[in-house]
Structure 1
Amino acid sequence: MPHASLAPVTRRPVRGRLALTAACAAVALTAAAAPAALAADAPKAGATEVAATTTVGGTPYEADTNTRTHTTYVANSSAKSLSVLDSRTGALKTTVALDASAFGVAVDSTTDRVYLTGTTSVTILDGATNKVITTVDYGTKVHGIEVNPETHQVYAVAPSDDAVLVLDGETGAQVATASVAADSTPVQVAVDTKNHSYWVSSTAAGTVTEFDTRTNEVVNTVTTGTNAQNLALDAQRHKLYVDNYGDGTVAVVNTSAAKVTKTVTVGAKPLGVDVNTETGRVYVGNSGDGTVSVIDGHSDKVTATVTVGTFPLGVSTDSGAGTTLVANRTDGTVSVLRG
């Protein structure tokens, strides 16, 4: 699942070895209020609208969804907490207190593990109990994170090192490193299980790089636009959507041909993107104007623009429920879109 990033990412010349820390204590605080419930219908082809708004912790950053349990996790960076929501309605189930700020979120829907990036660490949380299992510190800044649902390995992007850390999903131990071009500043990652590859966006270079999941070697590099940031993969249609923060566009990459087939103009400073794999609709959070652009994945044209909160950042879709949850960084809210 895709995640949001703030641009530009500050490069820090930090290096370090893997260090396991003691498991962090997590305190689950049940929310006192929830938005009005929505009908948990299958995806509809109707107009996209805001169906509910939920207040979460301070400075919500990225979001990801377990589509098996219909649970969305939102990292609240300034509140040092994780909001756990029902992805069908947006209702806040609970809030998990963390020992440090969290930014990136990735979920393994099979193992029910949740992975959070801190400044230089990854925290692994049990999604069934909302308890922290362990935290691993890598001694270097980590940003975007994603899970390979077949191998259960985890990819954590290290911008300062121009690298991707390949992690064991059970322990968080680093098992390999994949290198991108020097001074390219990688930020986000998306996994393509059909092609046995993963894609990494590099904001300084304005590119996406494809790696082989079996060898962690570079397969292709594609130029997409200014300040390439977040990624959303539609494996069924062989499309990778890349939001370009610097020029207000989304590049559509044909993953079979490794080339840009279309560039779509969206709102100001796009910083979050996800795709409903059942309907083909793509949702782009525009941080500069508080809107979400809806792209028809068949024509790759914008069909709607929906006003949400201030500085939409994390975008996560539950294709089965037909909802998209958008974390609004400045407001401390999550907008629930249906349609």
Structure 2
Amino acid sequence: MTTPFLRRRAVITIAAALLAAAGIALGLVLTRSQNPPRVDLPLQQVESLTLPGDSSRFDYASLDADRGLLFIAHLGAGEVIEVDTRSNQVVRTIPDLSSVHGVLAVPSLHRVFATATGANELATIDEDTGQVLRRSPTGDFPDGLAYDPAHGTVWTTNESGGSETVVDAATGAVRGTVKVGDEAGNNAYDPASGQILVAAQGSNELAVIDPVSLTVTRRVPLPGCDHDHGLTLAPDDRIAFVACDGNARLLTLDLTTWQVTGTDEVGQDPDVLAYDSAAHRLYVAAESGWVTVLDNQARHLTVTGRAHLADGAHVVAVDPVTHRTYYPVPHRDGGHPALLTMTATH
């Protein structure tokens, strides 16, 4: 889900390493590779489920909490893995989803949506059977997903295309495209305002879109953020959380004043965010394998844990009923991919 930026970072890293070998800019390289101070995670592992497929990259995961079904995008294998979290068993794999990145379960529709990034498509999947019902064209490099229940649309973030594709959730017809900038990060539906929010990562802004006119109505600057990619909301508190993968910062944004009200350090290359509305707890999973846990009290975040969980643990999903969190990782026992299930210790 951060592939273009990771390629850019790889070039920077190689160049920096050459300079460091010559004794130039060594301090910069060391600073960039450091993680923030460690704080013990308030998490305990309760399950480890071996997953099918090879030990390639995973991407987003989405949970239908009512049915206890977790859908995991196995990017490297081009398939979605469905897991029954109550029995801790794999239900099925859904193949032929080229370089699948985003996955989003919409329980009210009994549908799962997935971005087949390698084909620039949005796949609509029957949640009951795992059958791919239809495929809709998107922009370049479709990544994250949001669902607008008021208008019955699914929004795909086209990362390198810098746009949003709007798809009718019932028919798969493309309703329109909205340009947000040079690059687009994650998106989210705000139920209070009925607007779509998008991390315009190429300009370090949050783009606010009217879903009726399909136009950007506001651009919110994000001071202190380098390359905003991750995004999730605490809708009841009218705040948004934005992860900046260029400088490992998490911003808290007031959705009534459009002002940044807080900044926290997280693990290097933060990626996926998951918010437990019932527990008022935010999880930030990073490419570095670090997970940061933050508690939301009176619309202010406090870091309650921040440490390395597992290599490749850059994806997290949370169950708002059991408060368990789920982390698919490419290498675990015996080198096989696995799903780690964690419970909160406090």
Counterpart of 2:46 in structure 1 is 51
Aligned Cα RMSD in Å? 2.2
Amino acid at match of 2:339: V
**Cα drift, residue 243 of structure 1:** 0.9
Relative distance call for 1:66 and 1:175 in structure 2 (3 A) is same
2:342 matches 1:337: yes
Q: Is the 8 Å Cα contact of residues 244 and 270 (structure 2) preserved in structure 1? A: yes
Relative distance call for 1:94 and 1:296 in structure 2 (3 A) is same
Counterpart of 2:261 in structure 1 is 261
In structure 1, how many angstroms separate the alpha carbons of the residues matched to 2:85 and 2:234? 20
Normalised to the residue count of structure 2, the TM-score between the two structures is 0.80
In structure 1, how many angstroms separate the alpha carbons of the residues matched to 2:86 and 2:318? 10
Amino acid at match of 2:135: T
Q: Is the 8 Å Cα contact of residues 138 and 156 (structure 2) preserved in structure 1? A: no
Report 1 or 2 for greater relative contact order, CA contacts < 8 Å, sequence distance ≥ 6: 1
Greater mean alpha carbon deviation, residues 316-325 or residues 50-59: 50-59
**Cα drift, residue 152 of structure 1:** 2.5
Relative distance call for 1:90 and 1:146 in structure 2 (3 A) is farther
In structure 1, how many angstroms separate the alpha carbons of the residues matched to 2:81 and 2:194? 32
**Cα drift, residue 5 of structure 1:** 3.5
Amino acid at match of 2:45: V
Q: Is the 8 Å Cα contact of residues 123 and 134 (structure 1) preserved in structure 2? A: yes
Secondary structure, counterpart of 1:100 in structure 2: coil
Counterpart of 1:153 in structure 2 is 153
| Aligned positions of 1:1-339 closer than 5 A | 5-6=2-3, 8=5, 47-56=42-51, 57=53, 58-88=56-86, 90-98=88-96, 100-119=98-117, 120-138=120-138, 140-181=140-181, 183=182, 185-224=183-222, 225-288=225-288, 290-298=289-297, 299-329=300-330, 332-339=337-344
Amino acid at match of 1:276: D
Relative distance call for 1:137 and 1:111 in structure 2 (3 A) is same
**Cα drift, residue 220 of structure 1:** 2.5
Amino acid at match of 2:195: S
**Cα drift, residue 93 of structure 1:** 2.5
Secondary structure, counterpart of 1:110 in structure 2: helix
Deviation string 1:213-266 (CA, Å, 9 cap, x unpaired) is 232222322233111111111101111111111111111111122121101111
Unaligned runs of 5+ in 1: 12-45
Q: Is the 8 Å Cα contact of residues 293 and 304 (structure 1) preserved in structure 2? A: yes
Secondary structure, counterpart of 2:100 in structure 1: coil
Q: Is the 8 Å Cα contact of residues 274 and 282 (structure 1) preserved in structure 2? A: yes
Q: In proportion to residue count, which structure has more helix?
A: 2
In structure 2, how many angstroms separate the alpha carbons of the residues matched to 1:172 and 1:204? 29
Query: Matched residue pairs, number?
Result: 299
Q: Which of the pair has more CA radius of gyration?
A: 2
**Cα drift, residue 306 of structure 1:** 4.9
Deviation string 1:185-225 (CA, Å, 9 cap, x unpaired) is 00211111111111111222222211122322223222331
Deviation string 1:114-161 (CA, Å, 9 cap, x unpaired) is 111112111110001111111223463322222123332100112333
Relative distance call for 1:266 and 1:114 in structure 2 (3 A) is same
% same residue:
20
Q: Is the 8 Å Cα contact of residues 324 and 338 (structure 1) preserved in structure 2? A: yes
Unaligned runs of 5+ in 2: 9-40
**Cα drift, residue 99 of structure 1:** 5.1
Q: Is the 8 Å Cα contact of residues 324 and 337 (structure 1) preserved in structure 2? A: yes
In structure 2, how many angstroms separate the alpha carbons of the residues matched to 1:150 and 1:106? 17
In structure 1, how many angstroms separate the alpha carbons of the residues matched to 2:85 and 2:237? 24
Amino acid at match of 1:64: S
Secondary structure, counterpart of 1:60 in structure 2: coil
